[in-house]
Amino acid sequence: MAKNIRILFVNPISGIEGFLPIGLSSLIAVLKKDNFKVNLFDTTYYEVDGFSDRALNEFVGEFLPADIEKFNIAKEKVDYLLKFSEKVKEVNPAVIAVTVPTAYNFPLAKRLIESITNFQGVVIVGGKHVTMSPQEVISLKRVDVICRGEGETPFLEFCNRLEDGKSFDGINNLWIKKKDGSIIKNEIGPLEDVNKLPFLDWSLYDERHFYKPFAGKVYRYGHLELSRGCPYRCSYCANEKLQEMFKGKGKYFRQKNLNRALTEIEFLKSKYKLEIIKFWDEEFLLKSEKELEEFAEIYREFKLPFLITARLDSVTERKAQLLKEMGCVNVSAGIESGNDEIRFEILNRRMSREEIIRGIDILNKHKIRTSTLNMIGIPFETRKNIFETIELNRTAHAQNSSVMILQPWEGTKIRELCVKEGFMSEDDKHYDYIDSCLNMPQISRDEIKRLRKTFTLYRKVPKILYPLVRLCEKDGKYRDAGFKFLHKIFKSI
């Protein structure tokens, strides 16, 4: 029997396109399965801040340009706050549920939430950023409830209690703001059983979400997780805090069983006509060789190419062989830093140079494209250290590389270090995508940004051309022309 109340989900995305958010898609599926009326407001294809992740990555040479414009992905130049207001009036929801998966999403989410007027229902906010920085989010005047941790079971219970006119007291993971401003902080509940969750539901998304470039061509994508959690404790990642938060609440790293995983993939491929799939597992190769063999035996029949993320120290000859047989077309793998001390002691990413090079060698041998993930702007890092990262990428011979500027997110060990060393203040709220927030004596924020721009070019060109690339680090008419020319010459490397 259909429920009476309506839920309006809000996906505050700017600058990113061609992505189907997994957490939100799971919540939509859970609510629909229980016969709630759900709708979606999504800012992905509205012009919000003029930033395009794809355009930036094409400019710096990390992505090959692709003819994606024919899929009408151009963002609409409209008053998105007005559009949101109109959507709320149209749907007339009892609940507005906003997802904030990362700190990058928070400024836009905040603007949307603060624009809500003449609404008598409940505003609830969830996502990883909420989990890591709950007080910041619950302090927003228009927010009534937040969800810390995984949301499927708590949010479903919340909606059912609202439907039945019952109190929200005692619902795990939820913080409830009372009328007097006091906050009820319910305890963290058990982790989700990923095998009992319904298949992801993408029916509410604009068709444009399915199209995304890969290696210069555009494909119809799906985005899926076969596992949740990560057993590693890198200092820049939320997983260490999450592992502590969920201690005693079940196994933090969970995998979908073989039958469940393969059935869901087959269903999504058929229903949404997928051409390629991205598995968002934080470490796909945590599967044993035996588990991967069982998975491969059936998956190869789907003839569905896929991309994964994996640690290079988990790559073996047999696993690479199985990945190739199944149709793996890309492995994204973190190098992060080419300096051993930074990688081990500051990032807590305990992987040797030999393991990095060996892992890429094995993948190259099996003709699987490799794409390294790198980070600059790390505490105590120098220009020389950044060139150690560039040099390790050159030595390892990965087909592609990408680089991010470190963002010390709330709740992470590396943020604690940055505050302790005076590189940032404790209350610094920095949500920039392409700039550093650290003020360090050995390297300026401007130089970090310039090296982010030229990182891929340094990786590609002969070293004799390094002086030319250095000229291109700074912006300017002739420098930019030289930068584009060098990228054009070396784009195939």
288-300 confidence digits (pLDDT tens): 999 999 999 999 9
Can you give the pLDDT at residue 493?
Answer: 58
User: Are 168 and 157 in contact, with CB atoms under 8 Å apart?
Assistant: no
Rounded to an integer, what distance in angstroms lies between the CA atom of residue 130 and that of residue 106?
A: 9
Residue predicted with more confidence, 62 or 391: 391
Q: Report the CATH superfamily, name and number, of domain 6-185.
A: Cobalamin-binding domain (3.40.50.280)
Residue predicted with more confidence, 203 or 168: 203
Can you give the pLDDT at residue 38?
Answer: 98
Rounded to an integer, what distance in angstroms lies between the CA atom of residue 10 and that of residue 83?
A: 12
Averaged pLDDT, 270-280: 97
H or E segment and range at residue 373: strand 369-376
DSSP structure string for 3-54: -S-EEEEEE---S--S---HHHHHHHHHHHHTT-EEEEEE-TTB-SSS--HH
Residue 74: pLDDT band with limits 50, 70, 90: confident
DSSP structure string for 254-310: EE--HHHHHHHHHHHHHHHT-SEEEE--TTGGGS-HHHHHHHHHHHGGG---EEEE-
Rounded to an integer, what distance in angstroms lies between the CA atom of residue 356 and that of residue 247?
A: 31
Can you give the pLDDT at residue 424?
Answer: 95
Structural fold of domain 225-460: TIM Barrel (3.20.20)
351-374 confidence digits (pLDDT tens): 999 999 999 999 999 999 999 999
Q: What is the pTM (predicted TM-score) of this model? A: 0.93
| Closest CA relative to residue 111, chosen from 48, 164, 60 | 48
Averaged pLDDT, 33-54: 87
Residue predicted with more confidence, 58 or 189: 189
Can you give the pLDDT at residue 480?
Answer: 85
154-181 confidence digits (pLDDT tens): 999 999 999 999 988 899 999 999 989 8
223-260 confidence digits (pLDDT tens): 999 999 999 999 999 999 999 999 999 999 999 999 99
Rounded to an integer, what distance in angstroms lies between the CA atom of residue 356 and that of residue 104?
A: 29
Which of these ranges, 67-71, 268-272, 442-446, has the smallest mean pLDDT? 67-71
What is the rounded average pLDDT for all residues in the chain? 93
Give percent of the chain with pLDDT exceeding 70. Answer: 95
Is the predicted pLDDT of residue 397 greater than 70, yes or no? Answer: yes
Residues 6+ apart with CB under 8 A from 108: 12, 13, 14, 43, 48, 49
Phi and psi angles of residue 42, each rounded to the nearest 5 degrees, phi first: -130, 125
Q: For the chain, give every domain's residue range.
A: 6-185, 225-460, 461-493
Which of these ranges, 260-274, 356-370, 373-387, 472-486, has the smallest mean pLDDT? 472-486
Averaged pLDDT, 452-475: 94
User: Are 200 and 267 in contact, with CB atoms under 8 Å apart?
Assistant: no
Residue 75: pLDDT band with limits 50, 70, 90: confident
Is the predicted pLDDT of residue 39 greater than 70, yes or no? Answer: yes
In the three-class reduction of DSSP (H, G, I as helix; E, B as strand; rest coil), residue 145 is classed as: strand
Rounded to an integer, what distance in angstroms lies between the CA atom of residue 116 and that of residue 129?
A: 21
Residue predicted with more confidence, 270 or 55: 270
Rounded to an integer, what distance in angstroms lies between the CA atom of residue 65 and that of residue 214?
A: 9
Rounded to an integer, what distance in angstroms lies between the CA atom of residue 385 and that of residue 378?
A: 10
CA dihedral sign, ordered 212, 217, 218, 224: negative
DSSP structure string for 317-372: HHHHHHHHHHTEEEEEEEEE-S-HHIIIIIS-----HHHHHHHHHHHHHTT-EEEE
Query: How long, in residues, is the chain?
Result: 493
Rounded to an integer, what distance in angstroms lies between the CA atom of residue 67 and that of residue 487?
A: 18
Residue 321 corresponds to which amino acid?
Answer: Q
Rounded to an integer, what distance in angstroms lies between the CA atom of residue 108 and that of residue 113?
A: 9
Can you give the pLDDT at residue 71?
Answer: 67
Is the predicted pLDDT of residue 321 greater than 80, yes or no? Answer: yes
- Classify residue 451 as exposed, middle or buried by CB count within 10 Å of its CB (0-12, 13-18, 19+): buried
